[in-house]
Amino acid sequence: MRYFCELQRNEFLGLIKKMKQIIMTVEKHKAIVFILLFAAGFFLSQSVSLSAHGEENEKKKVVLQEVNTPPIPNKLFFAGEEVPLGHFDIRENLDRELMVNCYFHSQTLRYIKLAPRYFKIIEPILEQDTIPDDFKYLALAESGFDPKAVSPAGAVGIWQFMKSTAKDYGLEINDEIDERYHIEKATKAACKYLKESYAKYGNWTTVAASYNVGRNGIDRQVERQKESHYYNLLLPEETMRYVFRILALKVILESPEQYGFNVPNHEKYPSISYKTVEVDSSVTSFADFAHHFGTNYKLLKMLNPWLREPYLKNAGGKTYEIKIPKGRFRKNYTTEL
């Protein structure tokens, strides 16, 4: 019994000794223990915070860009003829072209800026030839108001005339001259074509469609479908969209702010002031010609893209009017709308 008590006493003393050693170790390394405990607490708090933010972000709706559908007008007319917007297919076709042109921002902005320059040339000619003013939007749809535009099929200029058609309507085309690039003369030729088409179809909307697909194209479909009006004809995809593109451009350019385009007048491109010089003989060098009249070859060609070579032989002795930039227009660039 005494031996057993002695054994218990020794075990108890050994336990006390070990506890002292543990306490001494803790005292010795308490700084490390404190740092570890602090770090554990920090990372735990960050984990909770990130989790809370994650849940909060999931609840938030991230909007990168607000996109709205363009408004469709209650009523719309082309060349005085009402567009039947009450028909679902007509409304949807217009809606498509409004969306395309409203959200092709850079292109439509450029159209709005260019419009004053080219409308000033085209509008008086349309009025003089009794063609509805809305056909200026057809020229825009055709070429984007690029006077040097050339289509893959070979159509050229603001009004996109093919070579054979252009010659039929009195435009001169040879190695040195291509009047499809002459805005005024090409507009006059377009007016002749449009008048003839109106005499044939009796409505301006079908006339506009025929400008794209050709009169023969319209005639074939009229005969096949026993319908005569554009809005009732099934036509090739390009022509089906063509008139609606013209309509969309009209709607946007008439009320650009309503469709999100805010272009101050001073940021629109003004018409270029020029004078004309008559030439009835050959010109050896248009570079020298330009310098003689106080301008340069680049600006001369910009105003007269119908001059296709850097010279003019003019074997027939015809009289041509060549535009020369007026005064110091290039430096004194001001908007006059």
Check which CATH number belongs to the domain holding 190 and give it: 1.10.530.10
The 10s digit of each residue's pLDDT in 135-182 is 999 999 999 999 999 999 999 999 999 999 999 999 999 999 999 999
Residues spanned by the domain of 16: 2-49
The pLDDT value given to residue 116: 95
Q: Is 206 a domain residue?
A: yes
* Residues facing 279 on adjacent strands: 320
The 10s digit of each residue's pLDDT in 24-47 is 655 555 555 555 555 555 555 555
Q: Is 245 a domain residue?
A: yes
Q: Is 86 a domain residue?
A: yes
**What CA–CA distances, in Å, run from 227 to 166, 221, 232?**
29, 8, 6
Cβ-contact 196, 210 below 8 angstroms = no
Indicate whether 90 and 218 sit together in one domain: yes
Indicate whether 170 and 142 sit together in one domain: yes
Q: Is 200 a domain residue?
A: yes
> Which residue in 66, 142, 196, 223 is the catalytic one?
142
Q: Is 92 a domain residue?
A: yes
The one-letter amino acid code at 161 reads F
Indicate whether 27 and 89 sit together in one domain: no
Residue 142 catalytic?
A: yes
Determine the 3-state secondary structure of 274 from DSSP: strand
* Through-space distance between the first and last CA atoms of the chain, rounded to whole angstroms: 123
Count the domains in the chain. 3
Q: Is 149 a domain residue?
A: yes
For the entire predicted model, the pTM comes to 0.79
Q: Is 71 a domain residue?
A: no
The 10s digit of each residue's pLDDT in 205-252 is 999 999 999 999 999 999 999 999 999 999 999 999 999 999 999 999
The pLDDT value given to residue 233: 97
* Residues facing 274 on adjacent strands: 325
Indicate whether 192 and 144 sit together in one domain: yes
DSSP state of 255: S
As a residue count, the chain comes to 337
Indicate whether 12 and 141 sit together in one domain: no
Indicate whether 87 and 209 sit together in one domain: yes
Indicate whether 278 and 258 sit together in one domain: no
CA dihedral 137, 114, 107, 85 (to 10 degrees): -30
Strands of the chain, DSSP E: 77-78, 81-82, 274-279, 320-325
Indicate whether 251 and 119 sit together in one domain: yes
Q: pLDDT-based confidence at 329, cuts 50/70/90? A: low
Indicate whether 19 and 159 sit together in one domain: no
Indicate whether 16 and 152 sit together in one domain: no
Cβ-contact 281, 316 below 8 angstroms = no
Indicate whether 144 and 288 sit together in one domain: no
Indicate whether 216 and 155 sit together in one domain: yes
| Beta carbons within 8 Å of 287's beta carbon, 6+ residues apart | 296, 297, 310
Residue 89 backbone zone (phi > 0: left; psi -120 to 50: alpha; other: beta): alpha
- DSSP character string of 191-226: HHHHHHHHHHHSSHHHHHHHHHH-HHHHHHHHHHHT
The one-letter amino acid code at 208 reads A
Q: Is 201 a domain residue?
A: yes
The pLDDT value given to residue 241: 96
